[in-house]
């Protein structure tokens, strides 16, 4: 119904200084519909922008977790290398203690002094073995911790990839909503040009950048002006192309 009445309120013989009361009322109803559509598309774009921002923040958090996992693995590698060096040194000390004990318990080592020295060597060997075993267990624990960190890093990588896909999808949705907003803005700009034209005045002269928005419409996005989208959207709503003038 609104489309069919467009020529009646905006076409030939319906310039701003020619419209009657019935035309003005119908024009007001049409404008309310267009303004409502414009506000709706602004809201859609804003919601899509918020979604992109939220998804991007979540992806950044996932990336930070991945980076932290990588740093923890690097630190764990350093710890493992240190413990390997400590274990190698302790193993060497244990072997030396074993040699000392063997030397202290030789066939000719029978005096009380020799026996006392052999006892001390045995204690040192036992302590060296305990130290080596302790370091070996610590090394195994560090290596097991690294495996856990590597598994966590793989999970973090999967999460980053998942969040990146969500961000891409939300950006695509935003692009679609922005195109819709551009179409509505173009239609509204064309509508204003026809609405505000006077008798024998070309509506093309009214379609300037300042006509895309006015204080009664939301702000924040720019119209494509006389773009292909403008022509398509105007045709869909029944706006004649080219717009009528009082001379044709």
Which pTM was predicted?
Answer: 0.64
Q: Give domain limits for the chain.
A: 2-236
For the domain spanning 2-236, the CATH number is: 1.10.287
Angle at 17 between CA 11 and CA 19, to 5 degrees: 55
Structure tokens at 90: 């302790």
Query: Angle at the Cα of 47 (from 41 to 52), degrees rounded to 5?
Result: 125
The tokens describing 37, both together, are 């559509």
Q: Indicate the SS3 state at residue 107.
A: coil
Structure tokens at 246: 């009082």
Q: What is the pLDDT of residue 111?
A: 66
Q: How far apart are CA 219 and CA 130, in angstroms?
A: 76
pLDDT of residue 64: 96
Query: What number of CA atoms fall less than 13 Å from residue 81's CA on the CB side?
Result: 6
* Inter-helix orientation angle 112-196/228-236, to 10°: 60
Burial of 117 (0-12, 13-18, 19+ CB in 10 A): middle
* pLDDT tens, N- to C-terminus, the chain (248 residues): 777 888 888 888 889 988 888 889 999 998 999 999 999 999 999 999 999 999 999 999 999 999 999 999 999 999 999 999 999 999 999 898 888 888 877 666 656 776 788 788 888 889 999 999 999 999 999 999 999 999 999 999 999 999 999 999 999 999 999 999 999 999 999 999 999 999 865 445 444 333 444 434 443 344 334 443 344 344 434 334 444 444 43
pLDDT computed for residue 210 by the predictor? 38
**Angle, CA of 226, 229 and 233, to the nearest 5°:** 105
User: According to the model, what pLDDT value does residue 212 have?
Assistant: 40
Identify the residue whose tokens are 């000392």.
Answer: 100
The residue to which tokens 């793989």 are assigned? 154
State the pLDDT at residue 180.
Answer: 93
* Residue given tokens 């977790």 in the structure block: 65
**Predicted local confidence at residue 117, as pLDDT:** 80
């Amino acid at each position: 119904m609104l489309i069919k009445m467009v020529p009646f309120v905006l076409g030939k013989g319906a310039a701003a200084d020619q419209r009657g009361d019935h035309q003005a009322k119908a024009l007001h109803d049409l404008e309310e519909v267009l303004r409502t559509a414009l506000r709706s598309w602004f809201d859609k774009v804003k919601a899509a922008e918020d979604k992109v921002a939220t998804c991007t923040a979540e992806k950044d958090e996932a990336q930070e977790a991945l980076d932290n996992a990588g740093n923890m693995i690097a630190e764990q590698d350093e710890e493992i290398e240190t413990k390997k060096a400590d274990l190698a040194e302790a193993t060497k000390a244990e072997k030396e203690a074993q040699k000392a004990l063997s030397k202290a318990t030789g066939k000719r080592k029978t005096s009380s002094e020799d026996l006392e020295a052999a006892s001390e060597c045995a204690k040192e060997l036992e302590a060296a073995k305990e130290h080596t075993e302790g370091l070996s267990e610590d090394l195994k624990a560090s290596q097991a911790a690294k495996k856990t960190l590597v598994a966590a890093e793989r999970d973090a990588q999967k999460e980053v990839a998942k969040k990146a896909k969500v961000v891409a999808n939300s950006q695509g949705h935003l692009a679609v909503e922005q195109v819709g907003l551009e179409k509505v803005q173009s239609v509204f700009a064309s509508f204003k040009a026809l609405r505000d034209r006077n008798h024998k005045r070309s509506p093309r002269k009214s379609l300037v950048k300042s006509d895309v928005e006015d204080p009664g419409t939301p702000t924040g996005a720019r119209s494509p002006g006389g773009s292909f989208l403008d022509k398509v959207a105007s045709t869909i709503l029944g706006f004649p192309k080219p717009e009528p003038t009082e001379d044709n």
